[in-house]
């Protein structure tokens, strides 16, 4: 089964629609998509048994085709319930199989678009349990990438209004672990009492959750509230398991 590359009706441009429709030619948005997904895909290649050089080659080729030849990249790909991460996972599995059949015959260095920080990706792999499957590694890196992107958007919003120091003081309170954070430093930065500081943290967490839901909505075909809830629950479960 292949995806239609022309939409039957206009729809909002999301990451999902950008990938499956030939009408999406926003290179900046596609490049952001590459930054979001390169480490999950590279990590999947590595945990699937490819060496560093081959994993980088396959990952680079995936994104080269995403930006230059999406029709061929998605040919025969299953929609997998309309989740972009599932679609990408299925496609990269096929690309790894192709790479192995060709015994690494892809042109080395051809089609490189991204500067991949493979050293950081390798460090991330070391932090994952050695028993984790390639799929589990992919899911965890995906979840972390979504969190980082949502956090980066919030940081940009705060910086744009001259409150970068507020963001720096508030961001540690997004830790979902059981550790209790001290409000003393935050009170000093915000110049408020502890009750007000706790209210600010509550609003900050709610704002982050909205950013997170917005990022998730970008990557699923039917982004209704129930679908977003399911994907958000998956993301939280993945992080807890990690």
State which residues form the domain around 86.
15-241
**Average pLDDT of the chain?**
83
Angle between helices 134-160 and 84-101 (to 10 degrees): 130
Does some domain include residue 63? yes
pLDDT at 28: 75
pLDDT in tens, 46-86: 999 999 999 999 999 898 888 777 777 787 776 666 888 99
Give the separation between CA 31 and CA 240, rounded to whole angstroms.
29
Residue that the structure tokens 């940081």 belong to: 155
pTM, two decimals, is: 0.82
Across 166-188, average pLDDT: 81
Burial of 92 (0-12, 13-18, 19+ CB in 10 A): buried
> Does some domain include residue 43?
yes
Q: What stretches of 46-171 adopt beta strand conformation (E)?
A: none
User: Does residue 4 sit within a domain?
Assistant: no
**If you write DSSP's letter for every residue of 156-211 in order, what string do you get?**
HHHHHTT-HHHHHHHGGGG--SSPPPPSHHHHHHHT--HHHHHHHHHHHHHHHHHH
Q: Inform me whether the pLDDT recorded for 140 exceeds 70.
A: yes
The answer to the question of residue 37 being in a domain is yes
Residue partners of 177: CB distance under 8 A and separation at least 6: none
| pLDDT score for 34 | 83
Give the separation between CA 56 and CA 14, rounded to whole angstroms: 27
Structural domain includes residue 180: yes
Dist CA 5 CA 17 (whole Å): 10
Instruction: For 83, list phi and psi in degrees, rounded to 5.
Output: -105, 125
Cα–Cα dist 30/22, whole Å: 12
Task: Determine, yes or no, domain membership for 32.
Answer: yes
Residue 22 pLDDT grade (very low, low, confident, very high; cuts 50, 70, 90): low
Number of domains in the chain: 1
Of 9, 43, 19, 15, the closest CA to residue 142 belongs to: 43
- Encode pLDDT of 201-214 as tens digits: 999 999 999 999 99
Place of tokens 């509550």: 202
Confirm whether 10 is domain-assigned: no
Give the residue-averaged pLDDT of 144-164.
93
| Residues β-bridged to residue 139 | none
| Residue 3 domain flag | no
Residue pair 200/231 in contact (Cβ under 8 Å)? The answer is: no
């Amino acid at each position: 089964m292949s995806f239609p590359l022309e939409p039957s009706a206009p729809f909002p441009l999301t990451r999902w629609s950008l990938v499956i429709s030939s009408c999406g030619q926003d290179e900046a948005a596609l490049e952001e998509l590459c930054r979001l997904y390169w480490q999950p895909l590279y990590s999947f290649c590595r945990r699937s048994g490819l060496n560093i050089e081959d994993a980088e080659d396959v990952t680079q080729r995936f994104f080269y085709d995403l930006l230059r030849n999406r029709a061929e990249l998605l040919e025969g790909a299953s929609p997998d319930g309309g989740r972009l991460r599932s679609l990408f996972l299925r496609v990269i599995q096929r690309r790894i199989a192709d790479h192995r059949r060709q015994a690494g015959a892809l042109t080395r260095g051809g089609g490189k678009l991204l500067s991949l920080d493979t050293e950081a990706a390798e460090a991330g792999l070391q932090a994952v349990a050695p028993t984790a499957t390639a799929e589990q590694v992919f899911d965890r890196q995906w979840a972390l990438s979504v969190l980082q992107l949502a956090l980066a958007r919030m940081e940009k919003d705060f910086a744009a209004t001259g409150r970068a120091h507020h963001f720096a003081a508030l961001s540690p309170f997004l830790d979902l672990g059981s550790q209790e954070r001290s409000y003393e430093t935050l009170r000093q930065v915000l110049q408020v009492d502890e009750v007000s500081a706790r209210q600010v943290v509550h609003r900050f967490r709610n704002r982050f959750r909205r950013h997170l839901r917005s990022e998730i909505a970008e990557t699923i075909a039917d982004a209704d509230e129930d679908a977003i809830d399911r994907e958000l629950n998956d993301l939280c479960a993945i992080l807890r398991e990690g």
